[in-house]
Amino acid sequence: MSTMTVKDSKFASYATLLLRVGLGVGFLSAVADRLGLWGAFGQPNVEWGNFSRFLKYTHTLNWYLPAGMILPLGIIATGAEILFGLLLVVGWRTRVAALLSGLLLLTFGVSMTLALGIKAPLNFAVLTGIGGALLLASRESFPFSVDELLSRRTVPPFTER
């Protein structure tokens, strides 16, 4: 009986691609929501609808911080989500982007748990996102990515043979 390891299969390549793009687009979609690009609050599938509603949610999760810290924290979180989302979608510096994404999601998950209880991060599959990001960070290669294209250029142009 022959066995096939997932690590060496085409299945793993497509799973890695799907995980990378799914995490990246998930971050970018959340940013689009807080910037009102998915519509106004109250429309189907719109969580915030604008940045001020997102900042109120940020304050709810970070109730222990002074009010003056909420705007910078919201901007930093949004910037991180844009950066990590773009890096993951194109697959550049994927391992670092995935690891930092996992840490960002862990921070969100802990904040959600402390402020709202364990059900909140479970409702938003935060633990799944953390696990996926850390699993992605542990991969050896990233098919269909800028990282893969750059790794093919490992031989310097003027080396002696």
Short-list 116, 111, 15, 20, CA closest to 70: 111
Separation CA 145–CA 14 (nearest Å)? 12
pLDDT for the residue numbered 111: 97
Does a structural domain hold residue 69? yes
Q: Where in the sequence is the domain holding 127, given as residue range(s)?
A: 12-143
- Counting Cα atoms < 13 Å in the Cβ hemisphere of 141 gives 14
Separation CA 76–CA 69 (nearest Å)? 11
Does a structural domain hold residue 41? yes
First vs last Cα of the chain: how many Å apart?
A: 44
Does a structural domain hold residue 17? yes
pLDDT category at 152 given cuts 50, 70, 90 is: confident
Does a structural domain hold residue 118? yes
Separation CA 10–CA 12 (nearest Å)? 5
Tokens at residue 48, please? Answer: 């915030």
103: exposed, middle or buried (Cβ count in 10 Å: 0-12, 13-18, 19+) = middle
Does a structural domain hold residue 110? yes
What's the structural domain count of the chain? 1
Separation CA 84–CA 47 (nearest Å)? 21
pLDDT for the residue numbered 136: 97
- pLDDT by residue (tens digit) across 7-54? 557 888 999 999 999 999 999 999 999 999 999 999 999 999 999 999
Does a structural domain hold residue 96? yes
The mean of the pLDDT values for the chain is 92
Does a structural domain hold residue 64? yes
Does a structural domain hold residue 19? yes
